[in-house]
Amino acid sequence: MTALPRPHRDDVLIAVAGFLGGLLLWSLGLDSRRGHGFDPRALALLPLAVMSGAGLLRRTMPNTALTIGCLAMLADPFTTGNVATIALFTDLVYAAVLYGTPAAARRIPAVSMVATAAVTVTALVVFQDAQAVLLGLLFAVVTVAPAWTGVSVRTHRDAAEAARLRAEQTALLAEIDRTQAVTAERARMARELHDMVANHLSAIAIHSTAALSIDDPKTSRDALGVIRENSVDGLAEMRRLIGLLRDSGGDTEPSAVPRLAGVDALLEQARTNGASSGMEFTLTDSRTENLPLPAPVELAAYRIIQESLTNALKHASPGGITVVLGRDGQMLTVGVTSPYGDGPGPRAPGSGAGLVGMRERVALLAGTFDSGPVTTADGARIWQVRAELPLDEGNGKA
C-alpha cells in the first residue's frame, strides 16, 4: 500500500489553525446558519474536521485535497455551518490552482465561473427573488476569487522561474564560451611557441649531436657556432612571446607579425643550419604583383614555410629543398618540397606537432592543406607540403 506523502510544514500549520479557529467559533456559538441544519450542533464540526484534514494535502496532493473539500462543502449546508469551513475551502481552491497540474490550473477557474453562474440562475428560479443574486456573489467569493488569485500568483511564479532558468542558461553559455576561448587561446599559444622556437631547438639538437659524434675540432667549432646563433635567436623569440603573454603595463615592445618578406632570412638561416647535411635551399616566388595580403594569411604562410624548413632539417635526405609561393586569383598557394628518405648524419626527433599546427592554421582560414610523400615524374620520392589559403575580399586585387 502506497503511503501518503508527508505534509508540508506550512500546510500543517494552516490546517491546525483553521480547525482550532473553527472550534473556537463553534464554542462561542457563532454559527454561519444559526437555527438551520440538523441537530445536534456538533455536526458542524464534522465538515470542519474533514476540511482541515484535506488541508494537510493542499501542497502535496492539491487535486485530491480539493475533491475532499468539495464533498465537505456539500455536507456543510446540512449543519448549522462554520465560517472556518468556508475559509479552509477557499484556501483549497487557491492551492489547487497554484500547486496543481497546468491542466488543473486552466480548468478550475473556468469551472468556478460556470458553477457560479449556475448557482445564481438556479437561486433566481427557485426563490424568485433578486436577493438570490447575493448567493451567487457569495459563491463567487468562495470559488472564483481564490481560483483567479491562484492563477495570478502562479503566473508570476512561473515567470520568475523562467527568468531564473534563462539566467542559469546564460551563465552556462558564458562559461562554455569562456572555456572555449581559453582552449583556443592555449592552442594558439602552443602553435606560436612551437613555430617560434622549434627550428632553433632542432638546429641545436642536430649540431650538438654532430659535435658529439664527429671527432673533428673544426666540425665541433662550426657546430658550436651554429648552436650559439640558434640559442640567441631562440631566446629572443621566447622573450618576445613571453612579453606578449605578460601583463607588463606596456613596458614590453610589441612583437611584429612575421611577413613573407622575411622568408629570405628563414632560408638563409636554414642554409646555415643545413650546410653540414648537404642541403640546398631555394625560393621560387611566382607572384606577379607584390600586393598586400591579410595579416592572418601572411602569418599562416610564414609559419608553414618555417615549420616545413624545420622538418626538412630534421628528416630530409641531402639534396635540394624548394619553397614555392604563388597566387591564383583570391588564393595564396604555399608549397615546400624536400628529398624523402633516411639520409646519413644526425637527426632530431619529431613529435608530429608541426604538421598538426600547420593543418590547424589552414583550417582556421578555411583553406586546404596536404602533406606527405609523392613520386615525381622522374621516379624520385619527395616530401611535399602544400597549402592553399583563401584571401579575404577587398584585401588585394586578383
> What are residue 336's phi and psi, to 5 degrees?
-135, 125
Residue 253, pLDDT > 60, answer: no
**DSSP label at residue 344:** S
List the grid coordinates of 120.
445564481
Question: What's the rounded mean pLDDT across residues 128-142?
Answer: 84
Model confidence at 397, pLDDT cuts 50, 70, 90, reads very low
Residue 388, pLDDT > 90, answer: yes
Sign of the torsion formed by the C-alpha atoms of 161, 167, 173 and 178? negative
Residues in Cβ contact with 313 at an 8 Å cutoff, skipping those fewer than 6 apart: 199, 202, 203, 206, 270, 273, 274, 277, 279, 348
Rounded Cα distance between 228 and 63, Å, is 86
List the grid coordinates of 83.
465560517
Residue 126, pLDDT > 90, answer: no
CA-nearest of 174, 186, 114 to 144 is: 114
CA-nearest of 268, 199, 274, 210 to 233 is: 199
DSSP secondary structure of 227-257: HHHHHHHHHHHHHHHHHHHS--TT-SPPPPP
Question: What's the rounded mean pLDDT across residues 201-225?
Answer: 69
Record the pTM: 0.51
Question: What's the rounded mean pLDDT across residues 157-171?
Answer: 90
Contact 88/55 with Cβ under 8 angstroms?
Answer: yes
Rounded Cα distance between 378 and 369, Å, is 25
Contact 270/311 with Cβ under 8 angstroms?
Answer: no
Stretch (H or E) spanning 160: helix 144-213
Residue 344, pLDDT > 70, answer: no
Is residue 225 helix, strand or coil? Answer: helix
Say what the pLDDT of residue 127 is.
79
Cα distances (Å, whole numbers) of residue 320 to 115, 334, 345, 364: 98, 17, 16, 31
Stretch (H or E) spanning 336: strand 331-339
First CA to last CA across the chain, in angstroms? 82
**Average pLDDT for the chain:** 82
Other beta carbons less than 10 A from residue 113's beta carbon = 15
Higher pLDDT, 180 or 226: 180
The β-bridge relationship of strands 319-327 and 279-285 is parallel
Say what the pLDDT of residue 398 is.
37
Question: What's the rounded mean pLDDT across residues 208-231?
Answer: 70
Note the residue count of the chain: 398
Say what the pLDDT of residue 197 is.
67
pLDDT digits (tens, 9 = 90+) for 4-52: 788 999 999 999 999 999 999 989 888 887 767 677 888 889 999 999 9
Cα distances (Å, whole numbers) of residue 340 to 51, 199, 352, 369: 92, 19, 16, 19
The β-bridge relationship of strands 331-339 and 319-327 is antiparallel
- Pick the range with the lowest mean pLDDT from 72-76, 129-133, 239-243, 313-317: 239-243
Sign of the torsion formed by the C-alpha atoms of 146, 147, 153 and 156? negative
Rounded Cα distance between 188 and 353, Å, is 13
Residues in Cβ contact with 378 at an 8 Å cutoff, skipping those fewer than 6 apart: none
CA-nearest of 233, 227, 243 to 196 is: 233
Highest-scoring range by mean pLDDT, 128-137, 147-156, 181-190: 147-156
Stretch (H or E) spanning 323: strand 319-327
